[in-house]
Amino acid sequence: MIVTLIIICEVGFWLLLAGGLALRYWAKMPRASIAVLLCEPILEVVLFVVTAIDLRNGAEPDWKHGLAAVYIGYSVALGHYTIKWVDVRVAHRFAGGPPPSTPKYGVARAIHEWKIAARWILAGLIAMALLQGAILYVGDDGDIGSLRGWQQRMLWLIGINIIIAGTYTLFPKKSPPVAPHRGAGNGAISHDAPAEDRPAPQRSA
Query: pLDDT of 7-38, one tens digit each?
Result: 999 999 999 999 999 999 999 898 999 999 98
Does any domain span residue 135? yes
- In total, how many domains does the chain have? 1
88 — pLDDT class (breaks 50, 70, 90): very high
Indicate whether 166 pLDDT > 50. Answer: yes
Does any domain span residue 47? yes
Does any domain span residue 76? yes
pTM, full prediction: 0.80
Indicate whether 127 pLDDT > 80. Answer: yes
Does any domain span residue 178? no
90 — pLDDT class (breaks 50, 70, 90): very high
Work out the average pLDDT over 72-79: 94
Which are the contacts of 62, defined by CB distance < 8 A and separation ≥ 6? 143, 146
The whole-number pLDDT of residue 151 equals 95
Does any domain span residue 7? yes
Pairwise CA distance, residues 182 & 43, whole Å: 58
Helices (H), 26-62: 30-37, 40-56
Domain region containing 164: 2-170
Does any domain span residue 195? no
Under a CB-based contact definition with an 8 Å cutoff, are residues 147 and 134 in contact?
A: yes
Does any domain span residue 91? yes
Please return the burial class of 82, using the count of CB atoms within 10 Å of its CB with bins 0-12, 13-18 and 19+.
middle
Compare 85 and 60 and report the one with higher pLDDT: 85
Does any domain span residue 204? no
Which are the contacts of 111, defined by CB distance < 8 A and separation ≥ 6? 103
Nearest Cα to 162, choosing from 110, 203, 126? 110
Q: φ, ψ for residue 155 (rounded to 5)?
A: -65, -40
